[in-house]
Structure 1
Amino acid sequence: MKVGLFGANGRMGRVLIEALNENNDATLSVATVRDDSPLVGIDVGELAGIGKLGTPCSGLSLISPDEVDVMIDFTLPAAFESNLAWCVAHNKPVVIGTTGLSAQQLDSLAAAAEKIPVVFAANYSVGVNLMLSLVKQAARALGKTADIEILEAHHRFKQDAPSGTAMAIGEAIAGELGRDLSECAVYGREGKTPPRDHNTIGFATVRAGDVVGEHTALFADIGERLEITHKASSRLTFARGAVHAAIWLSGRGAGQYGMHDVLSLEH
């Protein structure tokens, strides 16, 4: 399968180059950077630090749709609209890992999924997606009495907070309990606060150093607590999951899919 990559020069873009290079079922055929980027023409392997691979970085306006079967986008919200529009215009499936999208951008994604197949997930790790199933089980068993908090930590450069994965965990728990996360989420506490409202779901965010990604769902009752934690030590975990999703997406009909579809997990 010929896979194209938006944003080859990004932090995840470089790791995706490595993940695609090690996969026997996919080939990186196109890697884009900004049209005016000094990286246009640079070999993607040299960009990723793994040696020449024979594929140069290209500006988005210079690539041919005939060169790719599916695209992967782990860029920033500012580039999301143009990348998605290119996929729709050329009828190309796309795997999207961009986080921090606005409500309007999510609407654009849903509209695009009516025309092309799209996999969209807050996190492409197999472990995290299994965690989303586990927190639902915990919510069913403990949600009536336990206080629920979600803790997450990422590197100093991450711009959105809480992380997309933390929000996905919150949505999974709130949905299982019949709550609206937009109404019950608490994102910060300071000073003298009233007693905790049991129906709220709290979020705590850490940004420090080079933390790849850590998430904990805490269910705390009187006398006991359950913690479900996932820790990522390498971005290759996410990149390999995204490549797996791209391979899975080939031949699918138009629609919006998630990693629960790719991995056949309970949703």
Structure 2
Amino acid sequence: MKVGLMGFGKTGKAVASVLLQSDEVKLQWVVRRSHNLEHRSVPEFLGINARDPGMIYSFEEYTAQQLLDRLPVDVIIDFSSEQGVDYYGEEARGRKIAVVSAISEYSPEKREYLKYLAEETRVVWSPNITIGINFLMIAAKVLKNIAPYTDIEIVEEHFKGKPEVSGTARKIALALGLPEGAIKTIRAGGIIGIHEILFGFPYQTVRLKHESITREAFGNGVLFAARHVIEQEAGLYGMEDLMIPYFNLGG
């Protein structure tokens, strides 16, 4: 499976390292806004022995059409910004290239645009694309359905400089029908990300907790999403849609 990567910040670099070490995918290119590192080899830059082309280009050097004519891909993975989809969207739709987006938030207009792309190709959008956090969310909804009378609290912890409430925590609250005020935030040191859901029963407590140890966790989620969405029909999917079939423990 040939993939292209949008964005090469801290998380993008971690995702690229996972892609380069996977036998399932071939990293064709990376596109970023900055001209820094332009024409550098990603495997060389990251110190990973890989045969993937993996060259870095800027948004301004090639149009998406030119880049995809030269280096076609099956899946575009987006860790850039809300505007990243403007670069590749029409080409992905026209060529039916699958899209896996981990952008934390889109404007209403951009969400509609994702739906437009999904009319012709497969699109996965997951603000937190780690396997663990999406498993946690599904498990939490199952538990709430079993015991809707429980007290539920959400606690999220991140690095000291993160100003806003975690988008993942807001998504958890929305999925559980809770107000944003139910979210407790902790900011300390260099915590990458911890999310905990506490269910307070009268005579017992259940805690569902996920911790991102390194940003490579996002790369594992991307591989899962790319592998599974490529098998789907055109449409807009979340990680939950791809993971739910694994909750069938029968047989």
2:43 is matched with which residue?
45
Q: CA–CA distance in 2 between the matches of 1:149 and 1:15?
A: 31
SS at 2:197 equivalent: strand
* Superposed displacement of residue 151, structure 1: 1.0
Partner of residue 96 from structure 1, selected from 85, 96, 101: 101
Give 2:76's aligned residue. 71
AA aligned to 1:2 is: K
One of 153, 168, 190 as aligned partner of 1:149:
153
User: What secondary structure, in the 3-state scheme, does the structure 2 residue paired with 1:64 have?
Assistant: helix
Q: Percent identity?
A: 28
Q: Which residue of 2 aligns with 1:113?
A: 118
2:6 touches 2:84 (CA, 8 Å); kept in 1? no
CA–CA separation in structure 2 for the residues paired with 1:31 and 1:130: 29
Query: Aligned pair 1:122/2:122, yes or no?
Result: no
Q: Per-residue CA shift, 1:3-39, capped at 9, x if unaligned? A: 10001x21111011111111111100111112x5122
Q: Aligned letter for 1:139?
A: K
- Identify unmatched segments of 5+ residues in structure 2: none
Q: Which amino acid aligns with 1:205?
A: T
Q: Is the 8 A contact 2:28 2:55 kept in 1?
A: no
CA separation in 1, counterparts of 2:239 and 2:180?
27
> Residue 153 of structure 1 aligns to which amino acid in structure 2?
E
Letter in 2 for 1:4: G
SS in 2 for 1:105: helix
Instruction: Give the aligned partner of residue 170 of structure 2.
Output: 167
Offset at residue 246 of structure 1 (A): 1.2
Matches within 5 A, 1:1-267: 1-7=1-7, 9-34=8-33, 37-50=35-48, 54-60=53-59, 62=62, 63-65=67-69, 66-144=71-149, 146-156=150-160, 158=162, 161-174=164-177, 185-187=179-181, 202-222=182-202, 224-263=204-243, 264-265=245-246
Q: In structure 2, what is the equivalent of residue 198 of structure 1?
A: none
Q: Give the Cα separation in 1 of the matches to 2:89 and 2:190.
A: 29
Instruction: Please report the TM-score for the alignment, with normalisation by the length of structure 1.
Output: 0.79
Q: CA deviation at 1:248?
A: 2.1
Q: State the number of aligned residues.
A: 240
Q: Secondary structure at the match of 2:190?
A: coil
1:52–1:252 CA distance, 2 compared to 1 (3 A): closer
* Residue type of the alignment partner of 2:158: H
Work out the CA distance in 1 between the residues paired with 2:148 and 2:84.
39
- Compared with structure 1, are the counterparts of its residues 24 and 59 closer, same or farther at alpha carbon in structure 2 (3 Å cutoff)? same
The 8 Å contact of residues 150 and 166 in structure 1, kept in 2 or not, is answered as: yes
Runs of 5+ consecutive residues of structure 1 not aligned to the other structure: 175-183, 188-201
Q: Secondary structure at the match of 1:67?
A: coil
